[in-house]
Amino acid sequence: MTPLVRMTGIDKHFPGVHALRAARFDLMPGEVHALMGENGAGKSTLMKVLSGIYQPDGGTVEVSGEPVTINGPRAAQALGIGIIHQELALMNDLTVAQNIFIGREPRRSFGRLDEAQLNADASAIFAQMKVHIDPKAEVRTLSVARQQMVEIAKALSFRSGILIMDEPTAALNDAETNELFAIIRGLKAEGVGVVYISHKMDEIRRISDRVTIMRDGAYVGTVHSAETPIETIISMMVGRDLESVHVDIPDLTAAPVALEVRGLNRGRIIRDVGFSVKQGEILGFAGLMGAGRTEVARAIFGADPRDGGEIIVHGKPATIRTPKDAVAAGIGYLSEDRKHFGLALGLDVRANVGMTSLARFSNAMGVLDEAELEKTARDYIAQLAIRTPSDRQEVRLLSGGNQQKIVIAKWLLRDCDILIFDEPTRGIDVGAKAEIYRLMQALAADGKAIIVISSELPEVLRLSHRIAVMCEGRLTGILPGGPGTRQEDIMRLATMKHSAVEEALA
C-alpha cells in the first residue's frame, strides 16, 4: 500500500536553533500515527512543515507517492492535508459555519454570501461526525471541547485524507476525550490517516496504531503502540542514559519550613496542589508544557486569582491577593519571560536593580538618592558577578545570563527570602547557565528557600534537592533529588493521568 505521506530527511533551521535534523515520518491510510517527544523535540515543527506553515530547508515530502512542495496553507488544503492546531485557531466573533468555511464561502453573484448553503454544509459535516452543534452559534459561546469539534469539522470540510491533531485533548475532560476518539475511529474506518501529537501515554495506547518518537529534532524510531511497553517509549524519548549528576543535598531535617501551600485550586488549571519548601532548600518543579507549574507559581504570587488554598509563610498564614502582598511576605517571582515581566530593558542596571525598592532610596519629597542607588547597584554587580561595563549600562545590551542576575539582584534587594524561578535559564547560553546554577545554590546555602520550575529535566535533576512533578494541574508526586531519581521516573509522573493517580493511590 502506498503511504499517504512520506517525509524524509527534513531539515529546518530557525535563528540559533536547528529545529529539525533529517527528520522523517510516514502515514498509512486508515492509520492513527502518534508522534511523541519531549518539549522542543520538533513534533509540532515537523507537522507545520507538512501543513505548509513552514518551508523545510531540506528533505522531501511525498503525498500518495508523488513528491510535492507545500508552500502554504492553501497548498496543503489542496492536497487534502488538514491541521488542528494546538492553540485553537478560530475566529471567536464568527459563527460555527462561518469559521468552518472561512476562505471558501459558498458565493452568489457579486461576492454575495449564500448563508443558507453555508449553514447546510456545516450541518452536513456535523451529521457525518455524529455531533450536534448549531452552525449559527457564535464560536465564543462554545466550550473548548466543542470549539475543538469545530476545528475538526473545518479540517474535514476540505475532504482531508490526512488529518493532523496537535495535542487535541489538552483541554478536554474524559467524556469529551471519549467523544473525540469515537470521531477519530470513524475517520479511520473511512481511510483517513491521522497524525496524533500527544504527551499522554494512556491515550497513545488507546487510539494509535504506531508511534514515532522524536528527540532534539531528529527521528529516533517507530514502534507499534500495542506491543511496546510505555517504559520503552519513555526511554526512547529521553534518549541518553544521563551521566550521573552530583547534587549536594544538605541535611535539612532541622531547617524551618519557609513556605507551605495547602489545597491550592484554580478551576481546571490547578487542582488541589499542596507542598512545602524549607529554608535552604531547592524544590524543583517538573512537568510537561501546560501541566500547570507556572500557574501554581502565579497563584502563590498573587498574580492570578485562586479558588482556594492556604499559603503559609514562615509558619504564619499569609493573605496574598496581589503580587504586592506576596512581595511584602518575602516571596519573589522571576518570570520565565524576563524581557516582558522582569526588566525595563531601556533603563540602566542601576535603575533596574532599584526598581522595586525605590521607596528606600527616596526622601519624603520623592527625590531619589542616586549616590545610594549607585552604591547598592555596584554592590550587587560585585556580589553576583554581573558582567557590565558600569551600573549605567542599558540592560538590553547585556547577555541573557547577566540580565537574569539583575532580576535576582532586584528581588534580593527587596529582602525576598522565598524565590520562585520560572525557567531561569531559558535563552541563556551553556556557560552562563552553570553560573546561574551556582548562584542559585549559593542563595540556598545562604538560607533562601528556592522553587525552580524547569522544562529541562537535566536542569531539574542537577539543581533540585527534591522534585515535585505535575500533570494536568495535579501534583502527581514528589521525588527525592540526587542520582537515585532518573528522568524516566519523572516522565512517568509527568504523563500520569488522573485515573492512573487514583489507581496508584488505591
Residues in the site for another protein, rule: CB under 8 A?
A: 53, 72-74, 77, 85, 89-94, 98, 102-103, 105, 107, 110-113, 115, 130-134, 136-138, 140-143, 145-146, 154, 175-176, 178-179, 182
Nearer to another protein, 136 or 360 (CB): 136
Nearer to another protein, 206 or 392 (CB): 206
CB of 130 to another protein, least distance (A): 5
Nearer to another protein, 112 or 340 (CB): 112
CB of 264 to another protein, least distance (A): 21
CB of 433 to another protein, least distance (A): 33
Q: Check: CB of residue 24 under 8 Å from CB of residue 217.
A: no
CB of 335 to another protein, least distance (A): 24
CB of 427 to another protein, least distance (A): 23
Cβ atoms < 10 Å from Cβ of 209: 16
Nearer to another protein, 154 or 293 (CB): 154
Instruction: Look at residue 357 and give its three-state secondary structure.
Output: helix
Q: Check: CB of residue 38 under 8 Å from CB of residue 238.
A: yes
Q: Check: CB of residue 449 under 8 Å from CB of residue 419.
A: yes
Nearer to another protein, 155 or 377 (CB): 155
Q: Check: CB of residue 226 under 8 Å from CB of residue 208.
A: no
Instruction: Look at residue 68 and give its three-state secondary structure.
Output: strand
What does the alpha-carbon distance between residue 443 and residue 448 come to, in Å, rounded to a whole number?
6
Nearer to another protein, 77 or 403 (CB): 77
Nearer to another protein, 94 or 255 (CB): 94
Q: Which three cell numbers stand for residue 239?
A: 534518549
Q: How far apart, in Å, do the first and last CA atoms of the chain sit? A: 46
Q: Which amino acid is at 372?
A: E
Nearer to another protein, 151 or 391 (CB): 151
Nearer to another protein, 174 or 337 (CB): 174
Q: Which three cell numbers stand for residue 260?
A: 507551605
CA angle 101–106–112, rounded 5-degree value: 115
CB of 107 to another protein, least distance (A): 6
CB of 324 to another protein, least distance (A): 22
Nearer to another protein, 133 or 194 (CB): 133
Give 171's contacts (C-beta < 8 A, 6+ positions apart): 144, 145, 148
Q: Which amino acid is at 173?
A: N
Give 112's contacts (C-beta < 8 A, 6+ positions apart): none
CB of 76 to another protein, least distance (A): 8
CB of 501 to another protein, least distance (A): 22
What does the alpha-carbon distance between residue 226 and residue 176 come to, in Å, rounded to a whole number?
23
- Cell 536553533, residue? 17
Q: Which amino acid is at 126?
A: F
What does the alpha-carbon distance between residue 275 and residue 310 come to, in Å, rounded to a whole number?
11
What does the alpha-carbon distance between residue 401 and residue 74 come to, in Å, rounded to a whole number?
42
Q: List strands edge to edge, sheet with 308-313.
A: 270-278, 257-266, 308-313, 316-317
Q: Which three cell numbers stand for residue 195?
A: 497524525
Give 323's contacts (C-beta < 8 A, 6+ positions apart): 301, 302, 303, 333
CB of 140 to another protein, least distance (A): 7
